[in-house]
Structure 1
Amino acid sequence: MAIEDASNRIIADLLASRTGQQLTESRRWRISTALSGLFRELGIQNVDQLACMLERPGEYRLATRVVEALLNNETYFFRDHAYFGTLANTVLPDLARKRADSKKLTIWSAGCSTGQEVLSLAMTFAEQPGRWHDWTIDIIGTDISGKAIEQARSGTYSQFEIQRGISVAQMLNFFSETKGGWQASDRIRGMLRFEQQNVLDFPPMPGRFDLVLCRNVLLYFAPETRRSAFDRLASAVAPDGFLMLGAGETVVGQTERFEPSSHGSALYSLRQQAGSAPLGLSIRPRQAVVNG
């Protein structure tokens, strides 16, 4: 094995051990590209030098920075726009009927990246004030990347980011231009909270989520790890709730915990016979009330 191949293997193993995500041999070409900025900052030339540095004792912080650089945080507002249409016109109205007594919805975006997905959800509610008047909407976004969560909490985006997926009207209605970029308004940020967390960890509120979105995350997991992730997601969804995956993902042949939902592509429900006791302890969320 060439030295560079061995170094790439060390870094791929680091990513897998920290996140569960795999960098298969066919995808290891992106290591040097993703780490080029870190190379410059450290004053090194290649992955072999980085691997040597990682082998030294006490390099946990460096390892964390390597993992952060390798994570794929690609996202944009209303990604897979048709799916958000299904949520707004079919799934959320269904949940509204089911939760008519409590007037409360709790949603988890697992792998929320820099926050565009959860802000898209918040805008979806805000654009239907008549339907959601006096409802309590609590949306939690989690991601393993601390850097991504930091941006998600700020709700601030560059000109390039703000133009991806939303209309000019939405931009002007829900964002304000600041020195740091375009920042989401308190009106929609008030529905959101964020935590740094791996999807393989215990869910933040076991058994209580009406809707869980985990899109374009499980693609990077090995089959066994993916099954573990599905178990975690299943323990988070309410018995009559829904799971939404990405366009290229499915539960079919991957897990027995979920089955396709009647609401269409990418949406799944818990299998009734697979119900199990929720894992972990509940956490009382900070809530936001949507007032038309």
Structure 2
Amino acid sequence: MEYKHLGRTGLTVSRLCLGTMNFTWTTEKPDAFKLMDAAHAHGINFFDTANRYGRPAWGDTESLIGEWFSLGGARRHKTVLATKLYGLMGDWPNDGKLSALNIRRALDASLKRLKTDYIDLYQFHHIDRDTPWDEIWRAMEVAVQQGKILYAGSSNFAGWHIAKAQGVARSRNFMGLVSEQSIYNLIERNLELEVLPACQDFGLGVIPWSPLHGGLLGGVLRKQNQGIRRLEGRAAETLEALRPRIERYEAFCDELGHEPGDVALAWLLHQPGVTGPIIGPRTSEQLEASVRALDLTLDATALSRLDEIFPGRKTAPEDYAW
């Protein structure tokens, strides 16, 4: 396993982050436990979850992870644990977003479900346009002083949100954000406009989610032809709109002699500022496939070919002006 510091911190995390959104949804507890054990066996020490993940109830995924931690074997010690807050967890006022009150309540609830006394990376799942950053950072400062969290991160922020958050944090002599979790893959490259440059400038590690764009970069056409993948609704519409590019992509992966999903993950690992993509395997075989990408090196010619198939964005404002 390869490791990297998370942004400007001294925190060392694996180049792949285990995403747990499928746990209790498409992955039942026994299989989830096996996946987390297998992740540790591969050296993956970075796990991501959120307080809204889980079925049939929000929070069930955190509770499942807490049960796994309680099995012992230094499971918690070996895990850099990241979770998130923002979404409503109830139908009463202050049951969501980033008020000081909800940060306190949501954090304590996550700690209880996760059966731990601290969270390594506590992330804002979305920008809260109604709460001032002075209030947010004051609540986070208290949580850090209490030893309940170590680092703060963001998710789905715009570049100017990151800049504003860091400006206020600096005025309070607080570390502020250390990471940003956003959608980023060969198909969806808008992050390159302003978010990625902002993260690099402020020293935030980038944690891409949906690295295979819902499976469209995972050999979807081949799987359809084999009868093992069927898309409906918006996913099918997206595939039809992108079919010429995906056909070229899968053909190029065949030229390289690598699976499309491996190439998509390897491409992300080659991008400046990226700490590690979030993988969401449902089976041990899918986990093994993700780990393969760490051994795949893409040369300048291959990276250029991928840019031709899925053009990226220039840094703003050069992307749309001089």
Q: Tell me if TM exceeds 0.5.
A: no
1 or 2, which has the higher strand percentage? 1
TM-score normalised to structure 2 length:
0.28
TM-score normalised to structure 1 length:
0.30
